[in-house]
Amino acid sequence: MSNNGLLRQRGFDVSVVAFDLDGTLVDTLPDLHTATNLTLNDLGYDPVSADVVRQHIGQGIEYLLLELFKDLGIQIEATDLNNIAQQFRAHYARHVCDDSELFPGIEHVLKTLQHRGLKMACLTNKSELFTGPILNKLGIRSYFQEVICGDTLEKRKPDPLPLRVLASRFGVDTRHVLMVGDSKTDTACARNAGAPVVCVPFGYRSGMALSDLDCDAILGNAEDLLNLIEKA
């Protein structure tokens, strides 16, 4: 099926909307870029561009570092990776929301869905250590009845467990939880859990084309989501 534009004319019959964080709600690239270059500087390497970092966001810090080092032709042992990841976390903790910001239209969407009585959650692979400060500093934590992070459960996206646990906490079937994301990690999680999924036009996608994502709709902008939701 082609994923060009909005793919459904009728709304999704859902009770809960689960939002990814990085690349969906918040543009976290600037601060991840800062932490990356500070870590590279610690190791004696030159800085990289934001576009390089963008390719590897969404599957955790270790993944970001492994893929980055592959790009740069740097050989890293597993033991070294653990130490480097801790250096990265220390830098990121100091800069976690210096320049990160909500994507256009996101706060309006959250306010409108809240007004309509939809339940909302944040379902992210980012650790709890960083998720809370970002949601709080940007003033959107109160919109979410549940927040499930990458280290909240024993498995994370694309495994279906986080979405299934989320549905259970709300007392609904996964079919009534709409996943809103920006990457294959989000779409695979939804498909594995039997939930509908839509993708925002911004985000990171680990280098994939937007049209290659296996989703039910691609939004033209954040506000398009409001036209696709019918409360179950």
Domains of the chain by range and CATH?
Answer: 12-27+100-231 (3.40.50.1000), 29-95 (1.10.150.240)
- pLDDT tens for the chain, 232 residues long, are 334 455 544 578 899 999 999 999 999 999 999 999 999 999 999 999 999 999 888 778 998 999 999 999 988 887 799 999 999 999 999 999 999 999 999 999 999 999 999 999 999 999 999 999 999 999 999 999 999 999 999 999 999 999 999 999 999 999 999 999 999 999 999 999 999 999 999 988 777 788 889 999 999 999 999 999 876 5
Distances (CA, A) of 119 to 128, 133, 174: 21, 21, 13
Task: Give the whole-angstrom CA distance, residue 36 versus residue 74.
Answer: 14
In the residue annotation, 20 being an active-site residue is answered as yes
Which pLDDT score is estimated for 60? 83
- The type of residue at 185 is T
Q: How far is residue 180's CA from residue 104's CA, in Å, rounded to a whole number?
A: 15
Q: At 178, is the secondary structure helix, strand, or coil?
A: strand
13, 20, 22, 151: the catalytic one is 20
Q: What angle in degrees, to the nearest 10, is found between the helix axes of 78-95 and 128-137?
A: 20
Model pLDDT, residue 59: 78
- Contact yes or no for 8/217 (Cβ under 8 A): yes
pTM of the model: 0.91
Rounded distance between C-alpha atoms, residue 28 and residue 92, angstroms:
11
Angle between helices 78-95 and 29-42 (to 10 degrees): 130
